[in-house]
Amino acid sequence: MKVIEPNNMQLVQAGLPWPHNKQPTSRDMLPMLERQEMYVTWLQPKGGGVDEQLATIKVGKNYCALSLRLQKALFRHIRLQNGFINREKTPDGRLKLRIPQTLYLDKKKTALRFTVRLLFLM
């Protein structure tokens, strides 16, 4: 897991630290992460915008970036429906991403494959 330096980042929303001894990247820990957004800490580069936010998980004293596999497990329950906006407000009024940008793009690509197109024959 890639460690993120929090010095150049500002905290947008804090998540719970990872409580288990095994790393969250372990295959047997993956079920423990499914739909558990409470472990996600959102960081944003100082001077950066909402689209640059990173979803991380705190393991010990380090913030670690989430792989696409972990993102898929954590945010599996979120569906891209018509009018989906990848932004939401935190309780203190800050804007944050609903799901990480990389996962959003991956979900959009998958949704495109399953889009039904109607062909009108004349």
Q: Where are the domains of the chain?
A: 3-113
Dihedral sign computed on CA atoms, order 23, 26, 28, 29: positive
CA proximity to 30, closest of 110, 22, 64: 22
pLDDT of residue 122 exceeding 60, the answer is no
CB 64 within 8 A of CB 109: no
pLDDT given for residue 81 in this prediction: 85
Element containing residue 77 per DSSP (H, E): none
Q: Which residues pair with 53 in a beta bridge?
A: none
pLDDT of residue 115 exceeding 90, the answer is no
- Based on its alpha-carbon atoms, the radius of gyration of the chain, rounded to whole angstroms, reads 16
48-68: per-residue pLDDT in tens? 999 999 999 999 999 999 999
- Look up residue 86 and give its two tokens: 């990848």
Residue with tokens 């010095």: 7
2-20: per-residue pLDDT in tens? 999 889 999 999 999 999 8
pLDDT given for residue 31 in this prediction: 87
CB 70 within 8 A of CB 9: no
Mean pLDDT, all residues of the chain:
88
pLDDT of residue 71 exceeding 80, the answer is yes
d(CA 106, CA 23): 24
CA proximity to 24, closest of 76, 93, 73, 61: 73
